[in-house]
Structure 1
Amino acid sequence: MEGEGPVNRPGSELAKMADDGGVAKRRKTAEDGGQDGVVTAEDTELRLRRRIAELESENEQLRRRGQGEGNHGVLPVTVTVDLSRVTTGIVTHISSFLGTSRELLNLALTCKAFGWRQPMSTLNWSLVEEVARQTVCSRATDAEIGCLPQYVRGTVTWLSILDRYEHLLDFDVLLGGYIEHRNGDKTAVCTSGDDGDYCCSVAVASNCVMKSGSHYAEFQITGIPFIGIVRPMPGLDNRAYHFNFCFIGGDHSVSTDFLAQRSDEWGDSDVHACEYFCGDGTMGWTNWDFELNEGVDLDGIEGCQSGDTVGMLLNLDEGTLTVYMNNSRLGVLKDGLSGPYCWYVNLFKREAVSIKRGTLPISDGATTT
């Protein structure tokens, strides 16, 4: 009609402008959270599409990261673990892989659940104590068990027994003024000082008190030391001997100190010290009283050289001490042995010795220390 404004028909420029303005208005409304606080279906759809785009972008980034690490097409997976199924037995088994007494002690100190006995537990001691007990019983031979203290609640713990087992073959007692641990390692000793070329000193593995059964140890030698067995003497004051020292053929006045350590466990045997001289293969032994034998030649037993491995087998069931060189049996050094003994070495002239548990040649069939 004449005088009326342009008709707003679809397809007209005005209609197009109105539509464009409506779209712009809807977009603004969606971004602002809806006009007057009202969220329309179009607002929800727009937000959903935007969130889908964000997730697809994140997934693409994760895929690229996984491909860079070699895990092609693998996305991180969250695993839920039911801790109620982790029993004491499982925790004990896992803890057994710690291995050493020091590691188990650290575990005990981290939490009461590991270091203290729990009232609701079926164990008679803490989890750490149970792991220590299982470790000792599974590793130690019958002969080694005889060298260890017995468990007594409130006095001796399984953790302390495990620690003793780990250090059975340490040279823990040094006698004389010319011997020291090599590089702080208690399984190895060497002569020390400028006078070491001329003076004797002794190292004893006093923790390993052998009372019964068969015991075998190996000694890696530098030089030509003496290697043997001696009575355990826990009351001997090693600080009292600062100079030349040996168990056989030394100062007779110290023999009184040795015999003062005698106990009923020594039994009837009068062999209180017996040794093998690596230099020429001779044997010596004494009762620290009137009987002294040095430089005794034995058929078939020869000397060793620096760098050789000397094996010693103490069989207290048969009362014999047998010597080996580089896994070959040389022969019996002494018989008639009974009662407790410890391993020892006597060093002279810039020598060194290390001790370790050995594997006895199968033909002799004894257990190892």
Structure 2
Amino acid sequence: MADDGRAKRLKSSQEGGVAEVAELRARVAELELKNETLRQENRQHAGGIAALESENEQLRRRGRAEGNHEVLPVVVAATVDLSRVDTSIVIHVTSFLTSSNELLNLALTCKSFGWRQPMLTLNWSLVEEFARQAVSSRTTDAEMSSLPRYVSGTTTWLSILYRYEHLLEFDVLLGGFIEHRNGDKTAVCAKGEDHFDSVAVSIRYTMKLGAHYAEFLITGAPCIGIVRPMPGLDAGAYQENFHWFDDLLFADFLAQRSDDWGDSEVHACEFSCDDGTMNCTGWDDEIQFGLNWEGMESCQPGDTIGMLLNLDEGTLTVYRNNRRLGVIKDGLSGPYCWYVSLVNRPSVTDEVSIKRGTLPNSDREARN
């Protein structure tokens, strides 16, 4: 009887073990099926990734062929109604665009940016509104007086912002021995024959009121100064030696005189970087040439010459490498433009670049 019991228990135990093994095998088969399914999905994903990478590479090549190394073409299927977006939010986002070219590109992107918006008080575009805000926040009163005025239908705020960004350029070249350096209108250099003068004028930046400070990086020994604006002077008529102190040309210069020149007879005044002297003329019989003045210094190639024209005080002050030399001329009134006079010498060729500057700290604090 005992042996029979053991036999029954052994048989029962064997049957249970066989069932567990069968269950485990079924579970293993199920897991292997799932693993195979995952492997197939991974292979599909890998193929998709490879296809996307191939497409991206094709787009990059197309971009490089078109001269654009960064931007890939994007197709947007959805239409967004920007009239539902709060204007202040759009203007805030637009404020991260810093140049007139960026704003122009935005205006061309969508009529909601570039077309007039009835929601704005003055009924102009969002781009125009931000251009107006940019001009108003960045420019001084003196600079604003030198910029075009906004006229609806004629002058846009976007064009005014562009002019502000290119405030100081040598717009007019007089004489046949000068050229822009590498096409850059902020820089000029002498050319051609030795000891022939030519002049570059920043005529579009006409200074009429307030204080104006500009910096000139020099090579050689140019002359730097101010001259009356003469927009009607025909630059093409002067292709030989040219400077403001040629008495044969005084009649041409005075023919450009306008009422806003005022009472001051100082029509051209310059600082000589060669010996530090001052030259001045009213385009009459008297020419002040090579005058000494308190604080005068000669300059070296590589120096930065600062010029401060203060029309509130009627003075022209000279700086050398951020150090104030002194007032070179007083009694000034009426409008003036910056100019430089260059000569091509055997030893060195005159070159000058112009940019807006900031007064040295000591002088700015004294003025405040």
TM-score, length-scaled by structure 1: 0.75
Does residue 311 of structure 2 align to residue 311 of structure 1? no
Per-residue deviation, residues 231-257 of structure 1 (Å, max 9, x unmatched): 001111111100100012x2x221111
Q: 2:191 corresponds to which letter in structure 1?
A: S
Q: Tell me how far apart the structure 2 counterparts of residues 166 and 288 of structure 1 sit (CA, whole Å).
A: 33
Distance 2:99 2:87 in 1: 20
2:318 to 303, 320, 323: 323
1:107 Cα shift? 2.1
Specify the SS of the correspondent of 1:107: helix
Q: Which amino acid aligns with 1:323?
A: V
Between the aligned partners of 1:82 and 1:237, the Cα distance in structure 2 is 52
Task: Pick the aligned partner of 1:228 from 225, 228, 244.
Answer: 225
1:230 aligned partner, one-letter code: V
Q: Is the 8 A contact 1:164 1:207 kept in 2?
A: no
- Say if 2:166 is the partner of 1:167: yes
Offset from partner CA, 1:29-88 (integer Å, 9 cap, x none) = xxxxxxxxxxxxxxxxx9xx97xx669956xx79xx9xxxxxxxxxxxxxxx99787422
Pick from 197, 201, 224: which aligns with 1:200? 197
Equivalent in the alignment of 1:89: 88
Q: Select 2:260's aligned residue among 232, 256, 265.
A: 265
Tell me how far apart the structure 1 counterparts of residues 255 and 82 of structure 2 sit (CA, whole Å): 60
CA distance in 2, matches of 1:139, 1:120: 25
Against the structure 1 CA distance between its residues 236 and 366, is the aligned structure 2 distance closer, same or farther, given a 3 Å change threshold?
A: farther
CA distance in 2, matches of 1:153, 1:362: 40
In the alignment, is residue 246 of structure 1 matched against residue 243 of structure 2?
Answer: yes
The yes-or-no answer on 1:116 pairing with 2:115 is yes
SS at match of 1:365: helix
Shift, 1:296, TM fit:
0.3
Query: 1:367, 1:131 → 2: CA distance?
Result: 34
The one-character-per-residue Cα deviations of 1:182-229 (angstroms, maximum 9, x if unpaired) are: 011110000123x1x221000001111111111100000000000000
Aligned to 1:290: 285
1:118 deviates by 2.3
Question: Shift of residue 300 of structure 1?
Answer: 2.0
Q: Give, in whole Å, the separation in 1 of the partners of 2:364 and 2:313.
A: 13
Spell out, residue by residue over 1:342-361, the C-alpha distance to the aligned partner (whole angstroms, 9 max, x if none).
00000012210000111101
- Counterpart CA distance in 1 for 2:133 and 2:187 is 29
Contact 2:83/2:112 (<8 A) preserved:
no
Q: Gaps spanning 5+ residues in structure 2: where?
A: 1-29, 50-79
2:209 aligns with: 212
More displaced stretch, 84-93 vs 256-265: 84-93
Q: How does 1:125-164 map to 2 (within 5 A)?
A: 125-164=124-163
Shift of 1:295: 0.2
Match of 1:98, SS state, is coil
Aligned to 2:94, what secondary structure does the other structure show? helix
5+ long unaligned stretches in structure 1: 1-45, 66-80
The answer to which of 261-270 and 95-104 deviates more is 95-104
- Higher mean alpha-carbon deviation, 203-212 vs 97-106, is at 97-106
Query: Is the contact between residue 280 and residue 288 of structure 2 (CA under 8 Å) also seen in structure 1?
Result: yes
State the structure with more CA Rg.
1
When normalised by structure 2's length, the TM-score is 0.75
* Contact 2:278-2:291 at 8 Å conserved across structures: yes
Tell me the CA shift for residue 146 of structure 1: 1.2
Q: Distance in 2 between matches of 1:222 and 1:198?
A: 15
Match of 2:55 in 1: none
Secondary structure of the corresponding residue to residue 106 of structure 2: helix
Would you say how many aligned residue pairs link Structure 1 and Structure 2?
Answer: 300
Q: Distance in 2 between matches of 1:55 and 1:319?
A: 85
Residues of 2 paired with 1:181 and 1:339: CA distance? 28
- Tell me, what secondary structure is at the counterpart of 1:147? coil
**C-alpha displacement at 1:123, in angstroms?**
4.9
Provide the C-alpha distance between the structure 1 equivalents of 2:138 and 2:40, rounded to a whole number of angstroms: 57
Question: Mapping of 1:175-190 within 5 angstroms?
Answer: 175-190=174-189
SS of the residue 1:162 aligns to: helix
State the 1:93 CA deviation: 2.3
Conserved in 2, the CA contact under 8 Å of 1:143 and 1:367?
no
Q: Distance in 2 between matches of 1:88 and 1:125?
A: 12
Distance 1:125 1:55, change over 3 A: farther
Deviation at 1:97, TM superposition (A): 2.4
Work out whether residues 82 and 112 of structure 2, in 8 Å CA contact, stay in contact via their aligned partners in 1: no
In the alignment, residue 173 of structure 2 is paired with which amino acid?
L
What SS does the aligned partner of 1:137 have?
Answer: helix
Residue 354 of structure 2 aligns with an amino acid whose one-letter code is I
In structure 2, the partner of 1:343 is 338
